[in-house]
Amino acid sequence: MKQRIIVKIGSSSLTSASGGLDTKKLAGQVRALSLLNQQGYEVVLVTSGAIASGFKELGFKQRPRTIEDKQAAAAVGQCLLMQAYSHEFSKFRIKIAQVLLTRGDFLRRDSYNNALNTLSTLIEHGVVPIINENDTVATGEIRFGDNDVLAALVACLLQAGTLIMVTDIDGFYEGDPRKHKSAKRINQIDRITPAIIEKARSTGSSVGTGGMYTKIKAAEQAMTNGVRVFIGRGGDGFPYEEILAGSGQGTYFGGSASERLQRKKQWIAFHAELKGSIAIDSGAVNALVEGGRSLLPVGVKTVQGKFNQGDVIAVNSLDGKIVGKGIVNYSSRKLKACLGKPLKSLTPGNGSKKPEVIHRDDWVELYVEDAVS
Contact yes or no for 124/94 (Cβ under 8 A)? no
Q: If pLDDT is split at 50, 70 and 90, which confidence band does 232 have?
A: very high
Phi, psi for residue 317 in degrees, rounded to 5: -80, 170
| Dist CA 260 CA 262 (whole Å) | 7
Give the pLDDT band of residue 5 (cuts 50, 70, 90): very high
For residue 364, pLDDT over 60 is answered with yes
The DSSP symbol for 34 reads: H
Q: Residue 277: beta bridge partners?
A: 304, 314
Q: What does the pLDDT read at residue 169?
A: 85
**pLDDT band (50, 70, 90) for residue 202:** very low
Provide mean pLDDT across the span 48-60. 90
Reduced to 3 states (helix: H, G, I; strand: E, B; else coil), residue 183 is: coil
pLDDT at 46 > cutoff 70: yes
- Looking at residue 265, its pLDDT comes to 87
pLDDT confidence of residue 348: 40
Q: Once rounded to an integer, what is the mean pLDDT over residues 287-310?
A: 92
CATH 3.60.20.10 given to domain 4-264: no
Among 165-179, 192-206, 302-316, name the most confident range: 302-316
Q: What is the mean pLDDT of residues 177-199?
A: 85
**pLDDT of 186:** 92
**Given this model, what pLDDT does residue 145 score?**
56
* Dmax (CA) of the chain: 71
- Predicted local confidence at residue 354, as pLDDT: 61
Domain boundary assignment for the chain:
4-264, 273-365
Q: Please enumerate in sequence order all residues whose Cβ is within 8 A of that of 183, keeping only pairs 6 or more positions apart, or say none.
A: 173, 174, 175, 176, 177
Q: What is the pTM of this model?
A: 0.80
Q: Pick the range with the lowest mean pLDDT from 53-67, 85-99, 310-324.
A: 53-67
Supply the pLDDT for residue 349: 45
Domain 273-365 maps to which CATH number in 3.30.70.260, 2.30.130.10, 3.30.300.30, 3.40.50.300?
A: 2.30.130.10
